[in-house]
């Protein structure tokens, strides 16, 4: 099992053998964010298949490898690929990866994704800093965990100091950066217009099928979290366009250069 302590120990040993000491920061690269890995200097690669606690994904646009390199002077590990709950029904599929990163010595996890917008002022092509999230699925990757540590405080799930830093870099780079609440749905089907109206009434600004489980796992592990969404479409009922995964990937590719450039600048300045 990916969360088996022996699998995590073997993964940490493999990471240390391949890369040496852990970097302070790791990044999960969602759809549209992969070019950031190609900007790193001195990059070394290892496939998930060599890391016993890492689960591979079959979703288009995800490569299933970990890359470690430098963004400026900052060493960074980037994960090209994440498992989604809709693939297996298991919202703890990323537990092995997240816990291995923490056991290796990583302190901060940056989570990126592609998402749909619920707000006209956050159109496709925008970047959104995640200020908070809504777990619409109401599933937890911590189900079955024992002890007081399972009751994780999610009041400041997305570290305020990291969000402040992201805003300052966006201002310096003249990169427009919205900020809002991300709502997690399981998928893989897209939402109905009625669901989108409900989420908007709840206060959600963007919707997607990832990130929240990893945030919960990371907070449980004691990692600081920063979340970023690349907006690829208006959510159901808010435009005349049909929602497809292929269209999401096309928009993500069109916007990937700016997103990746901002991510690289932000990481370089830490």
Residues 256, 121 contacting (CB under 8 angstroms)? no
Question: Beta strands of 10-141 (E only): which ranges?
Answer: 25-29, 41-47, 65-71, 74-80, 108-117, 127-135
Category of 61 on φ-ψ map: left (φ > 0), alpha (ψ -120 to 50) or beta:
left
87 is catalytic: yes
10 is catalytic: no
86 is catalytic: yes
234 is catalytic: no
165 is catalytic: no
Catalytic residue among 113, 126, 229, 233: 233
Buried b (16+ CB within 10 A) or exposed e, 67-104: bbbbbeebbbbbbbbbbbbbbeebbbbbbbbbbbbbbb
Catalytic residue among 7, 31, 97, 166: 31
Residue 28's DSSP bridge partners are 79, 111
133 is catalytic: no
Catalytic residue among 245, 247, 253, 269: 245
Q: How far is CA 230 from CA 113, 182, 227, in A?
A: 6, 11, 10
Catalytic residue among 34, 36, 37, 62: 62
Catalytic residue among 40, 78, 178, 209: 209
Beta strands 206-208 and 108-117, pairing class: antiparallel
Residues 86, 186 contacting (CB under 8 angstroms)? yes
Residue with tokens 């997240």: 98
166 is catalytic: no
Catalytic residue among 10, 87, 253, 265: 87
Three-state DSSP class for 8?
helix
Catalytic residue among 9, 10, 86, 198: 86
Catalytic residue among 114, 204, 235, 252: 114
198 is catalytic: no
Report helix angle 160-173 to 245-268, nearest 10.
90
Catalytic residue among 84, 133, 139, 220: 84
Beta strands 224-234 and 127-135, pairing class: antiparallel
Catalytic residue positions, numbered: 31, 62, 84, 86-87, 114, 209-210, 233, 245
């Amino acid at each position: 099992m990916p969360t088996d302590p022996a699998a995590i120990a073997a993964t940490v040993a493999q990471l240390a053998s391949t890369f040496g000491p852990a970097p302070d920061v790791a990044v999960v690269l969602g759809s549209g964010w992969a070019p950031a890995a190609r900007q790193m200097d001195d990059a070394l690669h290892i496939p998930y298949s060599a890391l016993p606690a890492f689960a591979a994904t079959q979703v288009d646009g995800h490569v299933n490898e970990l890359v470690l390199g430098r963004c400026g002077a900052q060493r960074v590990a980037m994960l090209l690929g994440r498992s989604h709950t809709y693939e297996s029904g298991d919202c703890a599929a990323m537990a092995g990866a997240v816990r291995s990163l923490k056991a290796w010595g990583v302190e901060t996890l940056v989570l990126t994704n592609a998402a749909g917008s619920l707000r006209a002022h956050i159109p496709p092509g925008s970047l959104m800093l995640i200020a908070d999230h809504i777990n619409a699925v109401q599933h937890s990757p911590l189900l079955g965990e024992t002890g007081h540590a399972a009751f994780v405080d999610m009041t400041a799930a997305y570290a305020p100091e990291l969000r402040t830093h992201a805003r300052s870099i966006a201002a310096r780079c003249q990169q427009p950066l919205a900020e809002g609440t991300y709502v997690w749905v399981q998928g893989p089907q897209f939402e109905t217009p009625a669901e989108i109206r409900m989420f908007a009434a709840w206060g959600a600004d963007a919707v997607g099928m990832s990130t929240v489980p990893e945030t919960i796992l990371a907070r449980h592990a004691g990692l600081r979290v920063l979340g970023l969404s690349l907006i690829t479409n208006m959510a159901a009922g808010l435009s005349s366009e049909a929602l497809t995964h292929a269209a999401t990937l096309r928009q993500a590719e069109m916007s990937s250069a700016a997103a990746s450039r901002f991510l690289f600048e932000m990481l370089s300045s830490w």
